[in-house]
Amino acid sequence: MVRNMNYNSDYIQKLVEELSHLPGVGHKSAARLAYHIINMPKEQVKHLTDTISDARERVRLCSVCFNLTDSEVCPICGNSKRNHGQIMVVENPRDLAAYEKTGRYEGVYHVLHGAISPMLGIGPADIKLKELIKRLEGDVEELIIATNSSLEGEATAMYISKLVKPTGIKVSRIASGVPVGGDLEYTDEVTLLRALEGRVVL
Protein backbone atom coordinates (compact mmCIF):
# COMPACT_ATOMS: atom_id res chain seq x y z
CA MET A 1 0.00 0.00 0.00
CA VAL A 2 1.37 3.41 -1.01
CA ARG A 3 1.18 5.98 1.77
CA ASN A 4 0.47 9.63 1.20
CA MET A 5 3.75 11.38 2.10
CA ASN A 6 2.10 14.79 2.44
CA TYR A 7 0.93 14.32 6.05
CA ASN A 8 1.16 18.03 6.86
CA SER A 9 -0.87 21.03 5.85
CA ASP A 10 0.27 22.55 2.55
CA TYR A 11 0.88 25.78 4.48
CA ILE A 12 3.31 24.04 6.83
CA GLN A 13 5.05 22.41 3.86
CA LYS A 14 5.47 25.81 2.20
CA LEU A 15 6.78 27.31 5.46
CA VAL A 16 9.32 24.49 5.84
CA GLU A 17 10.41 24.96 2.24
CA GLU A 18 10.91 28.72 2.66
CA LEU A 19 12.80 28.33 5.96
CA SER A 20 15.08 25.68 4.45
CA HIS A 21 16.32 28.31 1.96
CA LEU A 22 17.96 30.21 4.84
CA PRO A 23 21.74 29.69 5.16
CA GLY A 24 22.69 26.95 7.61
CA VAL A 25 19.09 25.71 7.92
CA GLY A 26 18.54 22.16 6.68
CA HIS A 27 15.18 20.45 6.17
CA LYS A 28 15.02 19.08 9.74
CA SER A 29 15.86 22.44 11.31
CA ALA A 30 13.36 24.15 9.01
CA ALA A 31 10.66 21.71 10.11
CA ARG A 32 11.44 22.34 13.80
CA LEU A 33 11.26 26.10 13.23
CA ALA A 34 8.01 25.77 11.27
CA TYR A 35 6.31 23.77 14.05
CA HIS A 36 7.58 26.25 16.63
CA ILE A 37 6.22 29.21 14.63
CA ILE A 38 2.84 27.50 14.18
CA ASN A 39 2.58 27.00 17.97
CA MET A 40 3.58 30.59 18.81
CA PRO A 41 0.86 33.05 19.92
CA LYS A 42 -0.54 34.98 16.94
CA GLU A 43 0.68 38.31 18.35
CA GLN A 44 4.23 36.95 18.60
CA VAL A 45 4.12 35.68 15.01
CA LYS A 46 2.88 39.07 13.81
CA HIS A 47 5.67 40.80 15.75
CA LEU A 48 8.24 38.47 14.14
CA THR A 49 6.94 39.03 10.60
CA ASP A 50 6.69 42.80 11.15
CA THR A 51 10.26 42.89 12.46
CA ILE A 52 11.56 40.98 9.43
CA SER A 53 9.61 43.23 7.07
CA ASP A 54 10.77 46.42 8.81
CA ALA A 55 14.42 45.30 8.80
CA ARG A 56 14.28 44.44 5.10
CA GLU A 57 12.60 47.74 4.30
CA ARG A 58 14.70 50.09 6.43
CA VAL A 59 18.20 48.61 6.61
CA ARG A 60 20.56 49.93 3.94
CA LEU A 61 24.27 50.38 3.30
CA CYS A 62 26.26 53.08 5.07
CA SER A 63 27.25 55.69 2.50
CA VAL A 64 30.82 55.68 3.85
CA CYS A 65 31.86 52.12 4.79
CA PHE A 66 28.95 50.06 3.34
CA ASN A 67 28.10 48.40 6.64
CA LEU A 68 24.42 47.65 7.24
CA THR A 69 22.62 50.51 8.97
CA ASP A 70 19.23 52.20 9.19
CA SER A 71 20.66 55.69 8.70
CA GLU A 72 22.71 57.45 6.02
CA VAL A 73 25.93 56.94 7.99
CA CYS A 74 26.45 54.02 10.40
CA PRO A 75 27.23 54.65 14.11
CA ILE A 76 30.90 53.67 13.66
CA CYS A 77 31.55 56.10 10.80
CA GLY A 78 29.58 58.78 12.63
CA ASN A 79 31.65 58.39 15.81
CA SER A 80 34.23 61.18 16.06
CA LYS A 81 36.11 59.23 18.75
CA ARG A 82 37.05 56.47 16.30
CA ASN A 83 40.36 56.68 14.44
CA HIS A 84 39.25 57.55 10.91
CA GLY A 85 42.85 57.38 9.70
CA GLN A 86 42.84 53.60 10.20
CA ILE A 87 40.56 51.52 7.98
CA MET A 88 40.00 47.79 8.36
CA VAL A 89 38.83 46.05 5.18
CA VAL A 90 36.46 43.11 5.73
CA GLU A 91 34.47 40.94 3.35
CA ASN A 92 31.02 41.29 4.92
CA PRO A 93 29.11 42.91 7.81
CA ARG A 94 29.34 39.70 9.87
CA ASP A 95 33.14 40.00 9.89
CA LEU A 96 32.85 43.61 11.04
CA ALA A 97 30.56 42.50 13.87
CA ALA A 98 33.09 39.84 14.89
CA TYR A 99 35.86 42.44 15.26
CA GLU A 100 33.59 44.87 17.09
CA LYS A 101 32.98 42.14 19.71
CA THR A 102 36.67 42.29 20.68
CA GLY A 103 36.03 45.83 21.93
CA ARG A 104 39.65 46.76 21.19
CA TYR A 105 39.68 48.03 17.60
CA GLU A 106 39.33 51.82 17.54
CA GLY A 107 39.53 52.50 13.81
CA VAL A 108 36.81 52.36 11.16
CA TYR A 109 35.90 49.77 8.51
CA HIS A 110 35.27 49.23 4.84
CA VAL A 111 32.94 46.37 3.88
CA LEU A 112 33.67 44.86 0.46
CA HIS A 113 30.54 42.68 0.28
CA GLY A 114 32.47 39.79 -1.20
CA ALA A 115 35.91 38.70 -2.36
CA ILE A 116 37.56 38.36 -5.76
CA SER A 117 36.84 34.90 -7.16
CA PRO A 118 37.52 34.24 -10.86
CA MET A 119 36.01 30.75 -10.45
CA LEU A 120 32.67 32.31 -9.47
CA GLY A 121 33.00 35.16 -11.94
CA ILE A 122 33.48 37.77 -9.21
CA GLY A 123 35.97 40.44 -10.24
CA PRO A 124 37.21 43.67 -8.62
CA ALA A 125 34.30 45.62 -10.13
CA ASP A 126 31.78 43.35 -8.39
CA ILE A 127 32.81 44.31 -4.84
CA LYS A 128 33.25 47.69 -3.11
CA LEU A 129 36.87 48.23 -4.23
CA LYS A 130 36.34 51.37 -6.27
CA GLU A 131 34.70 52.96 -3.23
CA LEU A 132 37.64 51.92 -1.04
CA ILE A 133 40.18 53.57 -3.33
CA LYS A 134 38.05 56.74 -3.27
CA ARG A 135 38.15 56.76 0.54
CA LEU A 136 41.93 56.52 0.49
CA GLU A 137 42.09 59.98 -1.10
CA GLY A 138 41.32 61.31 2.37
CA ASP A 139 43.61 61.43 5.41
CA VAL A 140 44.26 57.68 5.83
CA GLU A 141 47.40 56.43 7.59
CA GLU A 142 46.87 52.66 7.63
CA LEU A 143 44.79 50.10 5.77
CA ILE A 144 44.34 46.81 7.64
CA ILE A 145 43.27 44.00 5.32
CA ALA A 146 41.14 41.53 7.27
CA THR A 147 39.70 39.40 4.48
CA ASN A 148 39.22 35.70 5.27
CA SER A 149 42.09 33.21 5.07
CA SER A 150 40.57 31.50 2.03
CA LEU A 151 42.00 31.50 -1.50
CA GLU A 152 39.55 34.24 -2.44
CA GLY A 153 40.37 36.26 0.68
CA GLU A 154 44.11 36.01 0.06
CA ALA A 155 43.73 36.93 -3.61
CA THR A 156 41.65 39.96 -2.63
CA ALA A 157 44.24 41.00 -0.01
CA MET A 158 47.08 40.84 -2.55
CA TYR A 159 45.05 42.76 -5.14
CA ILE A 160 44.25 45.55 -2.65
CA SER A 161 47.88 45.67 -1.49
CA LYS A 162 49.14 46.16 -5.06
CA LEU A 163 46.58 48.93 -5.63
CA VAL A 164 47.31 50.81 -2.42
CA LYS A 165 51.09 50.51 -2.00
CA PRO A 166 51.92 53.19 -4.62
CA THR A 167 49.89 55.72 -2.58
CA GLY A 168 52.34 55.48 0.34
CA ILE A 169 49.63 54.42 2.79
CA LYS A 170 50.75 51.70 5.22
CA VAL A 171 49.10 48.40 4.26
CA SER A 172 48.99 45.53 6.76
CA ARG A 173 47.38 42.09 6.86
CA ILE A 174 45.92 40.45 9.96
CA ALA A 175 48.27 37.76 11.31
CA SER A 176 47.81 34.02 10.91
CA GLY A 177 46.08 33.65 14.27
CA VAL A 178 43.01 33.16 12.10
CA PRO A 179 43.06 29.54 10.85
CA VAL A 180 43.61 29.00 7.13
CA GLY A 181 40.28 28.47 5.43
CA GLY A 182 38.44 29.82 8.47
CA ASP A 183 35.76 32.50 8.40
CA LEU A 184 36.19 35.51 10.69
CA GLU A 185 32.58 35.40 11.85
CA TYR A 186 33.17 31.97 13.48
CA THR A 187 36.51 32.88 15.07
CA ASP A 188 36.64 33.67 18.80
CA GLU A 189 37.38 37.19 20.05
CA VAL A 190 40.80 36.35 21.56
CA THR A 191 42.07 34.86 18.29
CA LEU A 192 40.75 37.83 16.34
CA LEU A 193 42.45 40.23 18.73
CA ARG A 194 45.78 38.39 18.43
CA ALA A 195 45.45 38.42 14.64
CA LEU A 196 44.85 42.17 14.70
CA GLU A 197 47.72 42.91 17.11
CA GLY A 198 50.12 40.70 15.17
CA ARG A 199 49.25 42.11 11.76
CA VAL A 200 52.13 42.28 9.28
CA VAL A 201 53.01 45.00 6.79
CA LEU A 202 52.42 43.96 3.18
- What one-letter code names the amino acid at 108? V
Kindly list the structural domains of the chain, giving each domain's residue range(s) and its CATH number in brackets, ordered by start.
10-58 (1.10.8.420), 68-201 (3.40.1360.10)
Least confident of 7-11, 70-74, 168-172: 7-11
Strand residues in 64-156 grouped as ranges (E): 68-69, 83-90, 107-111, 142-145
- For residue 171, list its beta bridge partners: 143
Q: By mean pLDDT, which of 11-25, 124-138, 182-196 is the weakest?
A: 182-196
Handedness of CA 29, 35, 40, 45 (dihedral sign): positive
Compute the distance between CA of residue 186 and CA of residue 192 in angstroms, rounded to an integer. Answer: 10
Q: Tens digit of pLDDT for each residue in 9-48? A: 889 999 999 999 999 999 999 999 999 999 999 999 999 9
pLDDT at 2 over 50: no
H runs (alpha helix) in the chain: 10-19, 27-39, 42-58, 93-100, 129-135, 151-164, 189-197
Give the distance from CA 140 to its chain's centroid: 23
Q: What percent of the chain has pLDDT over 70?
A: 85
C-beta separation of 198 from 175 below 8 A? yes
* Cβ partners under 8 Å of residue 98, min gap 6: 184, 185, 187, 189, 192
DSSP-derived secondary structure for 3-26: --S--S-HHHHHHHHHHTTSTT--
On whether the pTM is more than 0.85, the answer is: no
